[in-house]
Amino acid sequence: MECPECSAEVLDGSADCPHCRRNLWNVRTSGAFRKLPMALFSGGGIGLVALLLCGGLLGFQLIPALLRGNEAEHRAECQSKLRLIALALLNYQDHYGVFPPAVTYSADGQPMHSWRVLILPYVENSPMYHSNRMNEPWNSPGNLAITARMPDFYACPSNSQGRETGETHYLALDGPGSALNSREPVRVEDLVDGPSQTLMVVEARHSGVHWTEPRDIDIRQPHSAAPDGLSSFHFGGFQAALADGTVRFIPENIDPQNLKAWMTINGGETVGDF
């Protein structure tokens, strides 16, 4: 190599120039770095830096795909949970001849228990159901001790905190004209609009409802599909279980009147598609 100070030839690897005593470390390292890219990309192959760069770029590109994959998996699992709930509601109806009421009441009209407790025997959770004290309200100390841990199928998998807090993400549609009407039992024969066009249970993000709490959605109140009304942790809308046992994804931009038509069993409305 050549010394940049005195231009004398110096052996490669020398720490100092033997002629002018110039320190050659910076010269050697800068020269090495100048040659580094060519060395890494030479020979027709891809060098280490290229691999790292490509790997980093590929990693950033894969992150959205991985997130989409996780969400697709969570959405499919959420759909399975709602399908299980819908099947339990139908099995309850087969046994009693009517769908369960969204809320049960005491003789003096006080809310007592939720449909989420009533269908436990139909989702292979009979021990918790039979341990529950049905003659006491849902929030009595004895009942809260029994129901402290929410069954997994009442929490959307896209919210990892749901099961730990006991906050359910699945609410029934209650009120006059609903399938789970708390005041007037409903039979399959009463579904004039058709089971495949009648919503029973919907997603509600941040519902604030304990899973055994007798509180759901009153269809007499105005509702929207986003973002603070009927909603979910899934992008673009929410999922709902229908009276025929199917589950459908309802877009957040659905027309409110169309949504209202899907909530009732015999409104005679023109029910449009999603």
118-127 pLDDT tens trace:
999 999 888 9
Which helix H or strand E contains 60, and what residues bound it? helix 48-96
Average pLDDT, the chain: 81
Supply the pTM of this predicted model: 0.72
Exposed, middle or buried by CB within 10 Å (0-12, 13-18, 19+), for 112?
Answer: buried
Q: What is the pLDDT of residue 171?
A: 95
What percent of the chain has pLDDT above 70? 70
Each residue of 129-174: pLDDT tens digit? Answer: 999 999 999 999 999 999 998 999 998 888 766 677 899 999 999 9
Determine the 3-state secondary structure of 81 from DSSP: helix
| Confidence tier at 53 by pLDDT (50, 70, 90) | low
Q: What pLDDT is attached to residue 15?
A: 57
- What is d(CA 170, CA 154) in angstroms, rounded to the nearest whole number? 6
pLDDT tens-digit profile of 97-110? 999 999 999 999 99
